[in-house]
């Protein structure tokens, strides 16, 4: 396997297993409380102001005081908030959770229906994508929160070492990353490709916000069509650097085409000197008795959606077989998530 840049001890996590029923039940409720306080803006306000006077916060945001009081009281019981009269502040754990809040947005906000219907999925009564859906907006928001808290600085370090004029992001969502990176590299241009029409439309807004109209182009297209059906996106084959984040596993769903994806990526982007492919892997089952945030949810959610995910070893084998040389596998902030830095062999 490729060398690991930094210690990944945090990826072992601190949740002791077995989770006894008290911990499991309270964790379930606590996750919902944290998500609610984040959505209400209370966690953000605590971050900027240090403490919050709850009744005036409720008046300002037209919130039901009794409900907010119950949420605050629950968060106090879980050890996330300290309450003194009407005023609350975050405890140390409450401050620490901010780094990880994206995982709660992702899990509670994005996947609550999917997890809650696991038995129905197992019985074949509900099917993901047919009569069972995730909240795409919350999944996107959770990813963005995790990116800015945990990943962005690591990507910036890697990209600063690379030469590029044309940057292409596959599965680009709202083209935030490609816009940010192009903005930081004067003279470069970018293309953000995503299958979702609404994400591409929002991408046009992102580009406007960065003042990059004509420099970054959000394009609505299926990357599988580019790889397998000769679909051409104007200018994309000029890319010097191609990246994708939390998307590679989506390209690998069809077992018949899986081994062809990497060679086709090389062929579709013949001038690319580097591919930066970030994705979360299946955590190694090494007999440890603790768990980190996110991994168990990522693995179960994908099983319920019927989308295979891969170990780090499986990805590295796929790259090698597909003719890409792995320069490094950079631990990428979120547990068991890597930024694979690859070049055409």
Ligand X SMILES: C[S@@+](CC[C@H](N)C(=O)[O-])C[C@H]1O[C@@H](n2cnc3c(N)ncnc32)[C@H](O)[C@@H]1O
Whether the upstream peptide bond of residue 311 has omega within 30° of 0, thus cis, is: no
Min dist CB 205 to ligand X, Å, is 15
CB 279 within 8 A of CB 335: no
Using CB under 6 A as the binding rule, whether residue 171 contacts ligand X is answered as yes
Give the list of residues 6+ apart from residue 11 with CB closer than 8 angstroms, or none.
283, 292, 295, 331, 335, 336
For 129, the token pair is: 């994508």
Of 312, 281, 6, the residue nearest 157 (C-alpha) = 6
Using CB under 6 A as the binding rule, whether residue 245 contacts ligand X is answered as yes
Q: CA triplet 104, 35, 52: central angle to 5 degrees? A: 130
Using CB under 6 A as the binding rule, whether residue 163 contacts ligand X is answered as no
Q: How many residues bind ligand X (CB under 6 A)?
A: 16
Using CB under 6 A as the binding rule, whether residue 344 contacts ligand X is answered as no
Q: From the list 95, 237, 238, 250, which residue makes contact with ligand X (rule: CB under 6 A)?
A: 250
Element housing 113 (H / E): helix 111-116
Give the per-residue contact string, 184-223, with ligand X (x = CB under 6 A; - = no): ---------xxxx--x----------------------xx
Q: Quickly tell me which residue has 């999925």 as its tokens.
A: 121
Using CB under 6 A as the binding rule, whether residue 110 contacts ligand X is answered as no
Using CB under 6 A as the binding rule, whether residue 178 contacts ligand X is answered as no
- 83 vs 195, which CB is nearer to ligand X? 195
Min dist CB 159 to ligand X, Å, is 15
Min dist CB 36 to ligand X, Å, is 23
User: What are the distances in angstroms from CA 63 to CA 4, 58, 74, 157, 192?
Assistant: 48, 5, 17, 42, 39
Using CB under 6 A as the binding rule, whether residue 335 contacts ligand X is answered as no
Write phi, then psi, for 330 (nearest 5 degrees): -90, 120
Min dist CB 329 to ligand X, Å, is 18
Judged by CB under 6 A, which stretch of 166-174, 279-287, 292-300, 303-311 contacts ligand X?
Answer: 166-174
Binding site for ligand X (CB under 6 A): 143, 171-173, 193-196, 199, 222-224, 245-247, 250
């Amino acid at each position: 396997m490729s060398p690991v840049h930094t210690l990944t001890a945090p990826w072992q996590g601190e949740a002791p297993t077995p989770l006894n029923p008290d911990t499991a039940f309270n964790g379930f409720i606590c996750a919902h409380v944290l998500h609610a306080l984040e959505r209400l803006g209370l966690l953000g306000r605590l971050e900027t102001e240090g403490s919050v006077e709850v009744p005036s916060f409720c008046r300002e945001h037209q919130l039901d005081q009794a409900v907010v009081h119950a949420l605050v009281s629950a968060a106090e019981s879980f050890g996330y908030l300290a309450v003194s009269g009407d005023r609350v502040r975050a405890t140390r754990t409450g401050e620490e959770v901010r780094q990880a809040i994206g995982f709660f947005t992702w899990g509670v906000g994005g996947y609550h229906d999917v997890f809650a219907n696991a038995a129905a999925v197992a019985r074949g009564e509900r099917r993901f994508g047919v009569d069972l859906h995730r909240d795409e907006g919350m999944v996107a928001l959770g990813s963005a929160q995790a990116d800015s808290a945990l990943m962005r600085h690591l990507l910036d370090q890697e990209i600063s070492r690379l030469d590029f004029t044309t940057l292409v992001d596959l599965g680009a969502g709202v083209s935030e990353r490609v816009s940010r990176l192009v903005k930081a590299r004067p003279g470069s241009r970018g293309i953000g490709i995503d299958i979702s029409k609404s994400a591409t439309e929002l991408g046009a807004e992102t580009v406007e916000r960065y003042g990059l109209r004509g420099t970054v182009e959000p394009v609505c297209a299926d990357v599988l069509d580019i790889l397998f059906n000769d679909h051409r996106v104007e200018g994309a084959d000029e890319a010097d650097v191609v990246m994708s984040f939390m998307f590679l596993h989506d390209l690998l769903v069809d077992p018949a085409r899986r081994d062809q994806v990497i060679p086709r990526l090389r062929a579709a982007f013949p001038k690319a000197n580097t591919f930066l492919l970030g994705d979360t892997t299946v955590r190694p089952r090494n007999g440890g008795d603790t768990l980190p945030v996110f991994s168990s949810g990522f693995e179960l959610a994908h099983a319920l959606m019927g989308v295979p995910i891969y170990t780090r070893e499986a990805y590295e084998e796929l790259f090698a077989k597909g003719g890409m040389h792995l320069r490094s596998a950079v631990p990428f902030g979120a547990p068991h998530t890597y930024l694979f830095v690859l070049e055409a062999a």
